[in-house]
Amino acid sequence: MWRFLVRTVLQRCVLLFFISVISHMVIHLAPGAPTEVDPMNPRMKAADVVKIRKAFHLDEPLHQQYFHWARDLVTGELRSFKDGAPVLPRIWERFLNSVPLFLCSTLITWTLSFPLGIRAAVKRGAVFDRSTTVIAYALISVPSFFLSYLVILAVVRVFALPVLGMHTFGTQHAASWVRAMDGFWHLAVPSLLSALAGIAILSRYVRSQMVEVLGQDYVRTARAKGLAEDNVVYGHALRNALLPFVTMFGFLLPGLIGGSVIFEDIFAWPGLGRLGYEAILARDFPMILTLNFIAAVLTLLGVLVSDILYAVVDPRIRLE
């Protein structure tokens, strides 16, 4: 177990190094330099461009730029090209904003998908199964911002609820329960909408797993013993169908950054995805690289966590 951990962590570190090198190359070899963001600015002279390039080490060879980035990242000195603010505190601040949205939508996804998927599997071929199938595919197929706009309109018209941003402007000095409710309503709509596609995918997956397990011999045996149907479905079938989902927990983590760009943009939510989007617009290389790096770390962590969870849940698997 420990040997496995040490070895995978070392392997992952090597992988991380390659990831950072590749993302460095992608960013620096693609056209579009940070100095060209505002080419129409009349006050920007050639001498200024040279000065900026020098200040950001952009005139040095690529491997030295990489070295600068890595050193600054490790020492926490990394500064944004855009405003010179330190990168890591800014990411941390946005990360804290992203976490509630991420947690809420994950929670909604996982609590709704299982009942829906299980019921569809038990009632296979019935109206419920077929209608959830069509609805699930429709939810996967709709452009997320199209659906979001329609829902925003409906929520604002029908319930008169605030939906954009994290707080209503001017409530900083209101009573704490008012602020809590306000925060809750701001959180509810975006997390529900970003959960929808997840529910559609996950509930289909739960359904196919359950259908698979319900056809097994031991389920027939359980039925033959005369167990109550609930006991058969939840006690015998579901517990075995759950195994693959343990691994899926691990793949959730990277969604913190990549999955939220569109929703954070629609709902003006100051989270990590939006930070990345703004950084890309401003050609803010240190910010983009660091976010990419963090996303890769999260992905690898997720895979590691799911490997370990798998071994914990399934006694047949040994980590060697």
Partner 1 sequence: MTSASPTAPLEAELLDEPESPLRQAVRHFRRDRLSMAAFWVLGVQLLLALLGKFFTSGWVLFDPSTVRLVDKLRPPLSAASTELLRADQLPTFGLYLLGTDELGRCVFARMLQGAFVSLSIGILAVSISVTIGILLGGLAGYYGQRKLLFLSVDTLIMRFTDVVLCFPTFFLILTVVALLPPSIFNVMIVIGATSWMGTARFVRAEFLAQREQDYVVAAHALGLSELRIIFRHLVPNAMAPVFVSATIDVAVAILTESALSFLGFGVQPPDATWGNILADGRVYIFDAPWLFAVPGAAILTLVLAFNLVGEGLREAMSPKLRLRAS
Specify which residues 86 forms β-bridges with: 79
Residue 247 binds to partner 1 (criterion: CB under 8 A) = no
Among 80, 258, 310, 311, binds partner 1 (CB under 8 A): 258
Among 182, 265, 278, 307, binds partner 1 (CB under 8 A): 265
CA distance 153 to 139: 18
Residue 153 binds to partner 1 (criterion: CB under 8 A) = yes
Long-range contacts from 277-284, C-beta under 8 angstroms, 24+ separation: 279/80, 279/82, 282/34, 282/37, 282/81, 282/82, 283/32, 283/33, 283/34, 283/36, 283/37, 283/81, 284/34, 284/80, 284/81, 284/82
CA distance 292 to 24: 10
| Segment 274 to 313, residues that bind partner 1, using CB under 8 A | 276-277, 280-281, 283, 288, 291-292, 295-296, 299-300
- The one-letter amino acid code at 164 reads L
Residue 10 binds to partner 1 (criterion: CB under 8 A) = no
Nearer to partner 1, 18 or 92 (CB): 18
Interface map 196-235 toward partner 1 (x if CB under 8 A): ---------------xx--x--------------------
CA distance 29 to 234: 54
Interface map 46-85 toward partner 1 (x if CB under 8 A): ----------------------------------------
CB of 278 to partner 1, least distance (A): 11
Among 140, 154, 178, 317, binds partner 1 (CB under 8 A): 140
CB of 315 to partner 1, least distance (A): 26
Residue 141 binds to partner 1 (criterion: CB under 8 A) = yes
Nearer to partner 1, 145 or 159 (CB): 145
Rounded to 5°, angle at Cα 171 from 168 and 172? 120
Residue 15 binds to partner 1 (criterion: CB under 8 A) = yes
Handedness of CA 57, 58, 61, 64 (dihedral sign): positive
End-to-end CA distance of the chain, in Å? Answer: 6
Residue 254 binds to partner 1 (criterion: CB under 8 A) = yes
CB of 109 to partner 1, least distance (A): 18
Nearer to partner 1, 149 or 218 (CB): 149
Site residues (CB under 8 A) for partner 1? Answer: 15, 18-19, 22-23, 26-27, 30-32, 130, 133-134, 137-138, 140-146, 149, 153, 211-212, 215, 254, 257-259, 261-262, 265, 273, 276-277, 280-281, 283, 288, 291-292, 295-296, 299-300
